[in-house]
Chain A
């Protein structure tokens, strides 16, 4: 494991979000720009103050989308980097922005992400790849394999999985940005259409459109930009990992459902914080089972016990480890490039005590964890 050498303290000074959902009248750049402008206003800076930008997105909709998008704000000549890291593209852009500042290359950076995900089951390989003949390239089938195995090993009932969806919708009902804001019952989750058993449709995140943005700054540069330090949220850890071979296989989450753990351990070491310090977290719940295994990988519950914590209400807004407080992927929806920064947006909002009706009572340390195909994992720890 590489030793991480952060330098200057980095803080998030602005966040912005375009609502998640379906927006047939808007192109990707329009979605992205709304989030970017919101983040700049939130930070109280102008586009010409930004020395570098990182743009997370996945689906091909033309080259250099970061440049063509930001050109609408003005051509300032700054480097703009397009980032593709599957479902972690946005959080990878944020990670790059953090490391660009902490190592001293830049005083400030913009990280943003946007996506218009096509409808239907998500695949990751080209049309003629062997996996397309074999049937293994099906994101939700991968989660279903994990769910079946988890239930076998832990004794978790399928109702515990469904409870995660119920909670996600309850949180999203308090969030005007969410793709799905209507709540439903345990029975409705279990009786919705089977996608890949035991996962029903309401246990899988919707494919969505949306955008998110964050402005990061060195704490020692805040005064020079005239930024309000009282709303700044510190980035205590920024970790990106790829897969470690465990003897089973690579590039498929069914082979390594706990691959977040090494990233989590690095993040705790980097921040000097531990699981006991975490007040809330946003994790990659593309399907219900994902939330359970991410919570366990973050050591917020012992392995095999997150389902009990869920059933007992401990992961609800009023619980002792609130998880996916904005509705998560399950209810916010999942525009790949945006989701990782959406998690940062929610964490910052909660740590600033600005989450309104979904504000958790004690919110000083928040974790944002995002997974992606190719065994990508990001873990960020934010602290107020």
Chain B
């Protein structure tokens, strides 16, 4: 069975054949130095088109979090799930699920690291599966 694709190749680059390792990617502006997570045509801060591809790494700190008890329609994962807002060392923030962490251990400021998991397709509004599995970026406590 082949390894699923990145949920968004413009945000997550898979770096091994097993699909278990990867890095977050985006762009850095050569003029103002601001980093952007994911796709950008112009610098989102100064509108320069002097952008260079940037590796944004695989660690961050938890800026905020919530435990989602009522998920969005079609949500393919477990309920409840923890949604984390994570600040990367370069500044951009990344929303993703936080796994492998007791709810009572969640704390703003805690260091987290990237975890990559295959996720089944969300159900389409009309019912049924929307498509293939994807490799999704998540967060887990650093060193867990």
The answer to whether A and B interact is yes
| Residue from A127, A145, A196, A248 within 8 A of B130 (CB atoms) | A127
Question: Would you list which residues of chain A between 101 and 140 have a CB under 8 Å from chain B?
Answer: 120-121, 123, 127-128, 130, 132-138, 140
Hey, what's the 0/1 contact readout for B51-80 against A, CB within 8 Å counting as 1?
000000000000111111111111111000
- B134 sits at the interface (CB 8 A): yes
Q: Which residues of A contact B124 (CB under 8 A)?
A: 127-128
Asked whether A132 and B122 contact (CB < 8 A) given A194-B69, A196-B69, the answer is: yes
Which of A38-46, A146-154, A222-230, A358-366 interfaces with chain B?
Answer: A146-154
Q: How far is the CA of A140 from the CA of B77 in the complex (A)?
A: 18
Q: Which residues of B contact A127 (CB under 8 A)?
A: 74, 122-125, 130
Asked whether A196 and B70 contact (CB < 8 A) given A127-B125, A136-B83, A247-B92, the answer is: yes
Q: Which residues of A contact B72 (CB under 8 A)?
A: 120-121, 123, 132, 135, 137-138
B45 touches A247 (CB 8 A): yes
Most buried by B among A127, A134, A137, A199: A134
Q: In the assembled complex, how far is the CB of residue B122 from the closest CB belonging to chain A, in whole angstroms?
A: 4
Asked whether A135 and B75 contact (CB < 8 A) given A128-B131, A149-B63, A245-B45, the answer is: yes
Q: Which residues of B contact A70 (CB under 8 A)?
A: none
- A197 sits at the interface (CB 8 A): yes
A196 touches B67 (CB 8 A): yes
Q: How far is the CA of A194 from the CA of B79 in the complex (A)?
A: 12
Question: Would you list which residues of chain A between 195 and 209 have a CB under 8 Å from chain B?
Answer: 195-199
A254 touches B7 (CB 8 A): no
Task: Closest A residue to B8 by CB, please name it.
Answer: A130
A132 touches B45 (CB 8 A): no
By a beta-carbon cutoff of 8 Å, the part of chain B in contact with chain A is 7-8, 11, 34-37, 44-45, 63-77, 81, 83, 85, 87, 91-97, 108, 119, 121-125, 130-131, 134, 136-137
By a beta-carbon cutoff of 8 Å, the part of chain A in contact with chain B is 120-121, 123, 127-128, 130, 132-138, 140-141, 144-149, 152, 193-199, 245, 247-250, 252, 254-255
Can you list 26 contacts pairing A with B, beta carbon distance less than 8 Å? A121-B72, A127-B123, A130-B8, A132-B122, A134-B96, A135-B75, A135-B77, A135-B95, A138-B83, A141-B68, A144-B68, A145-B66, A145-B83, A147-B66, A148-B64, A149-B63, A149-B64, A149-B108, A196-B83, A197-B69, A247-B45, A247-B91, A248-B87, A249-B93, A250-B44, A254-B95
